[in-house]
Amino acid sequence: MFRTLKDLFDSFTQPTPSQSPTARAHAVQLAAAVLLVEVVRSESSMDEAERTTMVTALRSKFALSDDELERLLELAVTTSKTAYDYQRFTSSLNEHFTQDQKIQLVEAMWQVAYADAHIDANENHTISKVAGLLHVTHGEYIAAKMRAKEAAQPFQTPR
């Protein structure tokens, strides 16, 4: 369970070698959530489709209650506003995520980008930059993008 938002934020911004497994898990969850939020921050506002896509991605990645997801997303938005680089988030994920989990995160970032049916150049740049910092290969990056694009297209009936 989450402690207060401040405790969670402090555990992320002031990591210690003796952090508990729970605190490390919260830091990883926050890092993933911030990177998803960063895709949306490249535009002027977050629409409902993007928000829903972020919540769905976080729900599938982490076993959190609805209340915990809402608090995580709220903290991620706040943290994202003061973020000056992606390195502090990606380094945590590089330590704790498998390659497949990193690819899934990049795919989730693309899903968020495609949620509003408009890919902005800044969204593309953000995802590309994060994928590089997560050591996702170009082939893995393109495959994740194509899977997200295919999933975002509405079901079409053959004529």
Question: Structural domains in the chain?
Answer: 5-152 (1.10.3680.10)
Per-residue pLDDT of 45-60, as tens digits, reads 678 888 899 999 999 8
pLDDT at 7: 54
Per-residue pLDDT of 102-148, as tens digits, reads 999 999 999 999 998 888 888 999 999 999 999 999 999 999 999 99
Note the residue count of the chain. 159
pTM for the whole structure = 0.81
Quick one: what percent of the chain has pLDDT higher than 70?
82
E strand or H helix that includes residue 36: helix 21-41
How far apart (Å, rounded) are the C-alpha atoms in residues 83 and 13?
11
Helices 21-41, 5-13: crossing angle, 10 deg rounding: 90
Q: What is the mean pLDDT of residues 39-45?
A: 75
Q: Are 33 and 54 in contact (CB under 8 A)?
A: yes
Per-residue pLDDT of 73-91, as tens digits, reads 999 999 999 888 899 999 9
* DSSP per position, 50-71: HHHHHHHHHHHHS---HHHHHH
- Give the pLDDT band of residue 72 (cuts 50, 70, 90): very high
